[in-house]
Amino acid sequence: MVEQISNKPRTTRVLLLQHRGKSFVTGLRWQPLGSVTGYKKEARQFGREHLLDIVVVRRASTIIQAGFVARSDGVTKGMYSLAATLAGQLGDSWLAAWKTATDLDQYVLIAVHQGGVISGCDMIGTAAEVQARVAQQRRRGISFAHEYLPPEFDMGGMPIDVEELLKPSRLKREYRLRPLAFGLSKRELVQGIIFSCLIAAGAFGWSQWQDHQQRIANQAAAQGEQRHSQELARLQLQQRVEQPPQALEYPWAKRPSVADFVEHCSNVFYLLPLSIQGWLFSDALCDGTQVLSSYKRSGNSTADDLVAATNGHFSDRPAFFDEGNSATLKFDISIPAADEEPLSEAIEMLANLSSWLHSFSQEPTLKEVPVVIPMAPAIPGQPPVPPPPPPQWKQFELRYATGITPLDSLTGAPVQGLRLREIRAEYQAGLLLWSVTGDLYAK
């Protein structure tokens, strides 16, 4: 059960629950957002008008909804919305109540109908208050697909396993509260003026610093080329044949780091709405150069609706297929290469990476694949180019599927030598399922 409830005096319905070191907030003000592409602007406007500066946004299959709260209620960014956490796991139609502690007459009540948290049903109250609120929803004629109620209420339903639902491995970034930016405060304006003055005063110094950095970069490039030539000469002496430059091309040096790959892909994934003018999200694929998202037509939605709603928000116009009932939207991205990095022994790197993923209840597959070094092209009139030497590294293909976002499952992971090929998100039964494919390079 919940370990403790904040005892800070409050003048609002907002209360905090502490569970396994995490803070969960109840009593948010829930507001549907009508704009599919401009919901962030709409949320900022609502928060400004009602003096609410902390928010969590939910994208259900039929609704985009925001829960608002104020910092003055003792809430900070990074805390979790209890309603959003449960709604992300229990679906679009349910009602749940449970006791916060055995020695308190205090119960949580949360209800979700047609994908949205019901206003006034994200609360903590006494048994009598919560029972009255449950009865009120029933009188309204709302039929929930699932009802989770404590036996002492004698109102039917079944108990809910809160311990399982609030496990750290089930908590996603999308359940966290984040600050709303309304514009600049007076203090920020003063800081901005000072900063602008500093920029103007330091323009000449910045130019000199850039020149200095360019000289350092040129020196580093020259030293790298020298090391490359020395290593190539060492290989030639060892193999007793001339070696092409391709012999020292490390594939992981030309690909983005895991952190950059996940961050750039996630930034686009999190902006994709689950519904655009009646077109429903199906899946999305990020390969490091672009994110391709697929949507399916529903009801009486049209291609014109989708084209108009997405105009200017993606890198190209929608590409329709399946007789016009499905469409792909493209968003181009650019991720810098990670450069070279030292590798460790394969047995150590495999153990570290698989152990990390196992700790998140993932079941990764790591399969060794042949390493192919490209041959240098033959030069007309010259002797045949000798084959490259055996590779000095091994390559393993990584694959795993999960209900946890890659940003959560890979942040802090031992990713030495790991490079990702693609991240795919697929929407099934009200949940996003993620699959990750990559390559692990090791000695």
First to last CA, the chain: 47
What pLDDT, on a 0 to 100 scale, did the predictor assign at position 241?
40
pLDDT of 87 higher than 80 = yes
* Rounded-to-integer distance, Cα 211 and Cα 205, Å: 10
- Residue 91 placed within a domain: yes
Q: Which two tokens stand for residue 166?
A: 């609030």
- Residue 265 placed within a domain: yes
Query: H or E stretch including 224?
Result: helix 203-239
Q: Residue range 167-193: average pLDDT?
A: 71
* Rounded-to-integer distance, Cα 171 and Cα 79, Å: 11
The dihedrals phi and psi of 72, each to the nearest 5 degrees, come to -65, -15
What pLDDT, on a 0 to 100 scale, did the predictor assign at position 60?
81
- 27 shares its domain with 172: yes
Number of separate domains in the chain: 2
What pLDDT, on a 0 to 100 scale, did the predictor assign at position 182?
47
Q: Of 139, 161, 179, which marks where a domain is finished?
A: 179
- Compute the radius of gyration of the chain from its Cα atoms: 28
Please state, for a pLDDT cut of 70, what percent of the chain lies above it.
Answer: 77
- Residue 112 placed within a domain: yes
Range of the domain at 315: 261-332
Q: What is the pTM of this model?
A: 0.48
Q: What is the pLDDT of residues 196-255, one digit of tens each?
A: 555 555 555 656 666 666 665 556 545 545 555 555 454 444 434 444 444 446 888 889
Least confident of 24-28, 247-251, 261-265, 293-297: 247-251
- 265 shares its domain with 140: no
Q: What is the pLDDT of residues 357-404, one digit of tens each?
A: 998 788 999 999 988 766 666 667 666 666 666 778 899 999 999 888
- 157 shares its domain with 280: no
- Residue 221 placed within a domain: no
Least confident of 26-40, 117-131, 230-244: 230-244
Q: Residue range 179-190: average pLDDT?
A: 54
pLDDT higher for 171 or 271? 171
Confidence of residue 408 (pLDDT cuts 50, 70, 90): confident
Bridge partner residues of 433 (DSSP) = 426
